[in-house]
Amino acid sequence: MGSLHESDISLSPPQLLNPEFNPLNIQEFRTQAHRMVDFIADYYQNIESYPVLSQVEPGYLRSRLPESAPYRPEPFEDILRDVKSDIIPGMTHWLSPNFFAFFPATVSSAAFVGEMLCTCFNAVGFNWLASPAATELEMVVMDWLAKLLKLPKSFMFSGSGGGVIQGTTSEALLVALIAARDRALTALGSHNIKKLVVYGSDQTHSTYTKVCKVAGIFPSNIRVIPTTSDDDFAMSPTLLRKVMEADVASGLVPLFICATVGTTSTTAVDPIGQLADVAEGTGAWLHVDAAYGGSACICPEFRHFLDGIERVDSLSLSPHKWLLSYLDCCCLWVKQPNLLVKALSTNPEYLRNKRSELDSVVDYKDWQVGTGRRFKALRLWLVMRSYGVANLQIHIRSDIRMAKMFEGFVKSDPLFEMVVPRTFSLVCFRFNPYKDSDPAYINLLNKKLLDLVNTTGRIYMTHTVAGEVYMLRFAVGATLTGDRHVYAAWKLIKESAEALLKRSYYIVS
Amino acid sequence: MGSLHESDISLSPPQLLNPEFNPLNIQEFRTQAHRMVDFIADYYQNIESYPVLSQVEPGYLRSRLPESAPYRPEPFEDILRDVKSDIIPGMTHWLSPNFFAFFPATVSSAAFVGEMLCTCFNAVGFNWLASPAATELEMVVMDWLAKLLKLPKSFMFSGSGGGVIQGTTSEALLVALIAARDRALTALGSHNIKKLVVYGSDQTHSTYTKVCKVAGIFPSNIRVIPTTSDDDFAMSPTLLRKVMEADVASGLVPLFICATVGTTSTTAVDPIGQLADVAEGTGAWLHVDAAYGGSACICPEFRHFLDGIERVDSLSLSPHKWLLSYLDCCCLWVKQPNLLVKALSTNPEYLRNKRSELDSVVDYKDWQVGTGRRFKALRLWLVMRSYGVANLQIHIRSDIRMAKMFEGFVKSDPLFEMVVPRTFSLVCFRFNPYKDSDPAYINLLNKKLLDLVNTTGRIYMTHTVAGEVYMLRFAVGATLTGDRHVYAAWKLIKESAEALLKRSYYIVS
């Protein structure tokens, strides 16, 4: 054999080559990251000074920015200046304590530093070997959270199931649906995809229909069970059974049912146990989307909303909504991980390794659509350890207490009314000064009220329509929100309503 | 009308209620985030002291961590201590300068602080109104990057197309495929999903097949065009045409072709222009996956790899791979955004707003599978501004120069050989001391060599198999890698090979 001599190497010795550009210079990293910490802390400190809902016009930014990337580097301070002058005015400030729209996305110092650490490692943990800690910590925290929720062992790694962190509910729904679909098609053959039927209610998240279409379910086979205010917009097991039986009678195959704990519109809770009764024996996969409402179930007094969960096939919950975790973090638990893996595994040569081949480890790429994945478990781990179960429960209870306070304001005022009973921390209400007036007029009045309130920039609320009633949604949950914000919001709404009444002759015209 | 008196409100005045738990206490945030910056900077500074490939055994972490989340909060310093003692040993250090596996995921100070800012805002920018700046900055940076790549106007917002940031290539492929599929099914009817055929080569990323299955394409309709070393593992337009013609003759419908610029195995480049010739007139959607190789095309001398790009329907490129952006960030450009929107739009009442209804703005939720999305454009914006095009080009050229240096080592050593010509910054080579020996033996020898090298923990390399040849992949690109690391890696590989030769009688047995 030959031996290596330095002279064999035709290039100059390395020490003579000077690096020309170092994008991860440690000193520069330290300086800039510290500077950014202060920038962000200052932003949080001053967040109440910005209009909650951005007041810019479409296209505002293009006119302010150059048409091309600069050829030469620009100083960090110039960029921060532009964040202040160009970006912040175009932000709708989701972290403002006066943000009561949609569902607020909750955050915390712990999750922030957890996210920094996740970014730091930049581990592309597609399989166990690519970063054992990333895979194993995810398994641990998914079991921790399952315990917090008092899920049965059948959803835990320490039992017969397991969990995985997806981006958002859409991805969680998609992989559960694909697992169910492929189980069905393995039995029926691909050509029978045309027979597969999926079920949700008219309150199920809009992404469900989209995800079903993405998975190739025929649009004509997507059933939407109507709900009514009599059931507080929960899915009716009786109706579901009727629709499923009709489908079976026409030779179709029930594939998937999506139940929701805390719908996006009004936080309705579908009756899991009764829906499981309907699903039983049909072969349909029952999924529970508890994106928002699930987090409340870490408190014993709310756990009953998950009653019957031991009978479903999968459950998703998004800690980025109500467990202080920043976006994006959606936890999915499944009873039969092997069905996910069967539907979603890949095994290219360049990822092969002994560990995976011995089947002794979890390769999370086979539990999701994509290959690469971030080390998101760190955030959840930091949140659970930094605050402890005790504080997480206090946090949930505090939001619900503030929502109750707002509910109290609404109920105590004869000009306003609750439209849907409050379940979690969302209050669905409306302005209804003339009890017998035309419903369309009341809807219009509330639209005007919402506009009036939001254009002040002092708070941001959104609306929904259910049972043909236009209602205002007051969602308490932004992490910085305290009693005084809820109180001030109510005062603003009330005053705006009064102003509106005074000029009501304009509204009708 | 009634009037609001303080006495109407049944709850205590807000100032009397003390918040019990504040997960975003600004002072605590500041302290912990600064502490974390130093922790991370120190980690980067010491990263060479860790074994690149984690040496832990499966299950190592579960035994070290408690079985449940703590009830009481734990001090931040305890958590950092556990990151050091429990997490870091289980990391495969993707950012180590001695990481030459897969494709390294490149990073930078600018992207890190950009990611901090993205986290900070926590804007859930599903539609324009939910955060105008998030949508508009994404439109701007997608056009900037398109210009850097000299893409035609038909892919830009300033022209007739547009771009969107997805998570990874899988999501980009999925939405492009769904847009193509739904265009076809609108014409053919859902029941004809059985006729839709998709094409890739045996070198196309493994996620392609998975994504096609997710989209409901029949597994029997997924065509894999074989490649050979004669074509350097590029897809043959002649073969593709033949397969497509046979499909059409049997009444099937060509739907989608995925070409690759820089395959994961060996960085093969499919001939875009010639594949466009084949696609022309068939109605098939032509997508280019340039996840890795695309970034090189910001340098004029490599731009030719995208020749013909004006004739394709969509292009994806992942700046998290080679444009210093941290995970995850995959840019997708499409010529007909309306096809994405048609396939993926949702319009629930609670997201309705004037801006979206006037159709005057981009609502990115209609360009992706999910609803919620992070403000990822900040990272790309920070990278492009902080470094400028000039430094980004230097960065690409520097990695390629180092790969060339390694290639020089391989070529100058009679015991080693290149297996595939080097195109970008990946060197595919093997140890081949006995030129006429059994191919299976040479494969085995290289497997042993890889094991030997990786178990030292001093570098991490991976392998692939193409054309039945087992080869070692030396991928230069980790941001901290300099000439001395490449040189030391070569020395280690060389010495390990020598050691292996000395005990080669063990290997054969």
Task: Confirm whether A335 is domain-assigned.
Answer: yes
Query: Cβ–Cβ of B132/A53 closer than 8 Å?
Result: no
Q: Which amino acid, one-letter code, is at A298? A: I
Least confident of B258-262, B343-347, B494-498: B343-347
DSSP A200-221: EETTS-HHHHHHHHHTT--GGG
Residues of chain A positioned with their CB less than 8 A from the CB of B350: 102, 264-265, 462-464, 473
Quick one: tokens of A173?
């729904």
User: From the CA of A26, how many Å to the nearest CA of chain B?
Assistant: 6
**Yes or no, beta carbons of A79 and B211 under 8 Å apart:** no
Distance from CA of B278 to the nearest CA of A (A): 27
For residue A329, the chain B residue with the least C-alpha distance is B372
Tell me: do B220 and B283 sit in the same domain. yes
- Residue B26: how many CB atoms within 10 A of its CB? 18
Interchain pair A132, B370: CB under 8 A: no
CATH number of the domain enclosing A472: 3.90.1150.10
Nearest CB among B1, B115, B137 relative to A501 is that of B1
My answer on whether A88 and A151 are in the same domain is no
pLDDT band (50, 70, 90) for residue A50: very high
Pair B237, B325 in one domain: yes
Chain A interface test: which of B25, B57, B214 (most A C-beta within 10 Å): B214
Smallest Cβ–Cβ distance between B193 and the set A58, A116, A216 belongs to A216
Domain boundary at B375, B409, B444, which? B375
Tell which of B354, B375, B396 closes a domain.
Answer: B375
Give residue A230's Cα distance to chain centre.
Answer: 28
Q: What is the pLDDT of residues A284-331, one digit of tens each?
A: 999 999 999 999 999 999 999 999 999 999 999 999 999 999 999 999
What span, in angstroms and rounded, lies between the C-alpha atoms of A172 and A189? 24
A229 within domain boundaries: yes
Q: Taking CB atoms and an 8 Å cutoff, what residues of chain A touch B372? A: 105, 168, 320, 327-328
Would you say A1 and B415 are in contact if contact means Cβ atoms under 8 Å apart?
Answer: yes
Residue A9 maps to a domain: no
Average pLDDT, chain B: 93
The answer to whether residue B142 sits within a structural domain is: yes
Mutation for testing the A interface, residue in B64, B186, B369 having most A CBs under 10 Å: B369
Distance CA A487, CA A201 (A): 34
Residues of B in contact with A366 (CB under 8 A): none
Give A393-424 pLDDT, tens digit per residue: 999 999 999 999 999 999 999 999 999 999 99
Q: Which of B25, B89, B136 sits opposite A109 (nearest CB)?
A: B25
Cβ–Cβ of B412/A9 closer than 8 Å? Answer: yes
Say if residue A428's pLDDT is above 80.
yes
Of the candidates A349, A375, A350, the residue with the CA atom closest to the CA atom of residue A364: A375
Name the residue among B45, B137, B370 with its Cβ closest to that of A170.
Answer: B370
pLDDT, residue A505, reads: 52
Verify whether the Cβ–Cβ distance A69 to B264 is below 8 Å: no
- B155 with B239, same domain? yes
- Closest partner residue to B388 among A70, A136, A355, by Cβ? A70
pLDDT grade for A378, boundaries at 50, 70 and 90: very high
Same domain, A368 and A429: no
Lowest mean pLDDT: which of A17-31, A220-234, B87-101, B107-121?
A17-31
**What is the per-residue pLDDT across B457-484, written as a single tens digit (0 to 9) for each?**
999 999 999 999 999 999 999 999 999 9
Domain identity same for A90 and A128:
no
Query: How far from the centroid of its chain's Cα atoms is residue A125's Cα?
Result: 22
Please state, as a whole number, how many other Cβ atoms lie within 10 Å of the Cβ of residue A140. 22
B61: CATH: 1.20.1340.10
In a domain, A339, yes or no: yes
In this structure, how many other beta carbons lie within 10 angstroms of the beta carbon of residue A447?
14
Give B232's pLDDT tier (boundaries 50, 70, 90): very high
Confidence class for position B360, pLDDT limits 50, 70, 90:
confident
Same domain, residue pair B424 and B499: yes
Q: What is the mean pLDDT of residues B424-441?
A: 92
Cβ–Cβ under 8 Å, residues B352 and B342: no
First to last CA, chain A: 96
Whether residues B346 and B398 fall in one domain: no
Q: Is residue B105 part of a domain?
A: no
Which chain A positions have a beta carbon within 8 Å of B327's beta carbon? Answer: 122, 124, 372, 374
Number of structural domains found in chain B: 3
- Using CA coordinates, name the residue in chain B closest to A67: B144
Note whether A215 contacts B210, CB cutoff 8 Å.
no
Considering B76, B93, B110, which residue would you say is the last residue of a domain? Answer: B93
- The torsion angle over the Cα atoms of residues A43, A48, A50 and A53, rounded to 10 degrees, is 110
Query: Mutating which of B113, B118, B328, B498 best tests the A interface, going by the most A Cβ atoms within 10 A?
Result: B113
Mean pLDDT estimate for chain A:
93
My answer on whether A37 and A93 are in the same domain is yes
Among B147, B215, B351, the residue with its CB nearest the CB of A214 is B215
CATH number at residue A180: 3.40.640.10
Q: Please give the backbone phi and psi of residue A222, each rounded to the nearest 5 degrees, phi first.
A: -100, 110
Residues of chain A found within 8 Å of residue B110, distances taken between Cβ atoms = 23, 32
Range of the domain at B301: 124-375
Question: For chains A and B, what is the number of CB pairs under 8 angstroms?
Answer: 547
pLDDT for B273-331, tens place per residue?
A: 999 999 999 999 999 999 999 999 999 999 999 999 999 999 999 999 999 999 999 99
Q: What pLDDT score was predicted for residue B504?
A: 67
pLDDT recorded at residue A2:
33
Residue B325 lies inside a defined structural domain of this protein? yes
Mutation target to probe the A interface, by most A beta carbons within 10 A, among B106, B322, B327 is: B327
B382–A498 C-beta distance less than 8 A: no
In chain B, what are the helix, strand and coil shares in percent, each to the nearest 5? 50, 15, 35
Residues of B in Cβ contact (< 8 Å) with A218? 190-191
Q: Mean pLDDT check: name the lowest of A252-256, A350-354, B151-155, B417-421.
A: A350-354
Q: Evaluate whether residue A306 is within a structural domain.
A: yes
Residue of B136, B186, B222 to mutate for A, most A C-beta atoms under 10 A: B136
Question: Which one of B9, B65, B87, B329 would you mutate to disrupt binding with A, by most A Cβ within 10 Å of its Cβ?
Answer: B87
DSSP-based three-state secondary structure for A189: coil
Q: Chain A residue closest to B462 (CA)?
A: A350
- For the cut 50, the answer to whether the pLDDT of residue A60 exceeds it is yes
* Residue B445 one-letter amino acid: L
pLDDT category, A504, cuts 50, 70, 90?
low
For residues A364 and A474, state if they share a domain: no
Backbone angles phi, psi at B104, to 5 degrees: -60, 150
Least Cα separation, residue B201 to chain A (angstroms) = 13
CA dist B363 and B88 (Å) reads 40
Are B493 and B112 in contact by the 8 Å Cβ rule? The answer is: no
pLDDT digits (tens, 9 = 90+) for B20-67: 799 999 999 999 999 999 999 999 999 999 999 999 999 999 999 999
User: CA B477, B480, B482, B486: dihedral to nearest 10 degrees?
Assistant: -60
pLDDT beyond 60 at B14:
no
Do B238 and B351 fall into the same domain? Answer: yes
Nearest CA in chain A to B482: A19
Cβ–Cβ under 8 Å, residues A268 and A428: no
Closest residue in chain B to residue A431, using alpha carbons only = B1
Beta-carbon contacts of A116 under 8 Å, excluding residues fewer than 6 positions away, are B33, B36, B37, B40, B116, B119
According to the model, what pLDDT value does residue B3 have? 35
* Residue A14, pLDDT score: 39
A304 and A444 both lie in a single domain: no
Report the residue from A10, A71, A371 with minimal CB separation from B389.
Answer: A71
Quick: pLDDT tens for A459-468.
999 999 999 9
Q: Judge whether residue A355 has pLDDT over 90.
A: no
